[in-house]
Chain A
Amino acid sequence: MTDQTPPPETSVDGTAKASGPSRRTVLAGTAAAVGAAVLARPAIVRAASSDPVKIGFIEDQSGNLSIYGIQKLHAAQLAVAEINAGYTLAGGPVGPGVFGSNGLYAPKPETLKTDGAALDVVNDGGAPSKKATVVSDDDEILIKSGENGLLGRKVDLVSADGQSNNQLWQRLARRMIQQDKVDVLVAGFASAEREAIRPIVDQHKQLYFYTNQYEGGVADTNTFCTGAVCEQQVIPVMKYMVEKFGPKVFTIAANYNFGQLTASWVRSFAPVLGAEVIGEEFPPLEVSEFSSVIARVQAAKPDWVMTLLVGQNQSNYYPQAAASGLHLPMASTINMAQGYEHKRFKAPAMANMHNAVNYMQEIPTKRNQDFVARFYKMFPQDPYLGQMAQNTYFSVHLYAMAARLAGTTDQEKVRRTLEAGWTVEAPEGSVFLDPGTHACSHYIRLAVADQQQNISFEREWPSISPWWLTRMGVNLIGKPEHKQYTPDDDPFFKMFAAKKK
């Protein structure tokens, strides 16, 4: 109803304007057809070294989801500024030889029994204390790239505001691809937004990064999903919650594809982990008053609650539940790490919240604290630097690294280069981009909010790979695909569910 105004287009430093006159001059000189001016930009202009590399960037800077979009925009602006100032993140194809170097890690990583399907936990890790060669968290990750910009060209962030409106997202994606001719598109918060623009991306074979944590399953030749997925988050956090608080779970999830599919992961994995989903609730994104939900949770008497709540309206659940005296342990894959609810709500609304995150600004490692300092130096007013912002930051750097190695911004060649299997030293730790599934392994930490909503990290998993698409037989190098798999496609989950009965 409210979102029909044309979105403003901004560029970080105004250099997008610089290409305007030269483009017009060339067009006038070649007497090109007027219609072609919008659709086909002369190759001669693209090749000119004065022409910036264009990173198309759409996020929600206004509307229900703006609380996430602005962080992501600022993280992308930081990455672009660093690239233009001659910096890059450490890393490269197949990484720096080994997976990280010196760092702290959990001395006894968790192991699973190999016999039988119960996947019982044998031990629970322990405090991260031992120095060993797993992950480097002390070394400087921001290093000289050897050039200012990328391939002798300046990098320009062409950003637009999606206004939390899926139709507008489609229009903006078309404009970025067809009119702005961006070299890479980095866009998407909600899964509904991603699915709205992915057909357009595929139609134009546009190189596309989706940097959000999400429900997983996207197998798309043109898309790189660099955020954490369910097998990296849902399973670790559920396992922890079941061990610590008990088997009975109540899920409250936002009613759209992300919430429904993540809830389906919770349901699917419950039998494997000895958990039992005793109730589910899918409030629509518009719901902001939760007395019925709270009463249903109280009536069901779960051991803990899985909250997968999205957006401004739904985050009201937390203060309302706390005020109603509902103080059950909570788990999530999104809350706190992206909407910084622990900063926005008065304690104890978020007390006893557990989230297996790949990033939060509170991560104490030196490489991360350096990153946090760089971010707040550029954006001193910002309230939080969350998971998706970090993903966006390393993804923009990753693109520049791959394009630099490919020696071109030709999208097909950059995509092939990215499929070499990259390690990038991100603020969270070492991230590995899997060639076959275009998904990333992540350093996962179990973040826990105490009564004062201070964050501590109780467990660490230095590298969890996004194994599920591999399990489903996805190999985008050998077999191009453009679909999203759901847990229903996997007979594995049904097998366990059946066995339980």
Chain B
Amino acid sequence: MSIWEYANPKKFIATTTPLVPWVMGISISCLVVGLVWGFFFTPDDFRQGSTVKIIYLHVPAALMAINAWFMMLIASLIWLVRRHHVSALAARAAAPIGMVMTVIALITGAIWGQPMWGTWWAWDPRLTSFLILFLFYLGYMALWEAIEDSDTAADLTSVLCLVGSVFAVLSRYAVQFWNQGLHQGTSVPVATGERSVSDVFFVPLLVCMVGFGLLFLALVLMRTATEVRARRIKALEARMR
């Protein structure tokens, strides 16, 4: 019993299809609980007022935007090393979701920034690196679309993903060097275990993060299965011709 068994598309679909409704269900209930709890049953922050509540969308979306790229990186590596098609397709499936998460993070950030910082947009390191991340997603998806042969496309996008990851990290540090930011530091540093957010806000935030993570998982599984089926249809059509 090894994890590579699921690299078989048939096995992958057979295993994940019954899982998807469950993951989706738990994700939606987490999101409903987390968002309703966060929006209606937490006190207003004494300085930020009710605008603080956008954190329940902003932080999980930003978290998933970065982790989606990370997942694509790992999937690309698996494709390059072990050449499992499901892996390449999973990377392809994750890209649009990651891009949407990036957009959500940028837009909710702008909506929060308008009353708090008095501006929709500032050339702050975190904001700028997210914009650059968005451009990376765009380029990655455009390369997938531009190349007709699917194996070539998978190879090239994987190489792009590897090189892009290095440059994404580099850009992150470059923009930090370039401009001092408005954006506050992380509220939930994992490494130190300390938090600048009180438990009243943190628990519903955690529920929302779990919800977003499971939502991402469910969407990726669904889209990967769709990609596998689309490729099967292509193969069948090619055989009929």
A, B bound:
no
A residues sitting closer than 8 Å to B (CB atoms) are: none
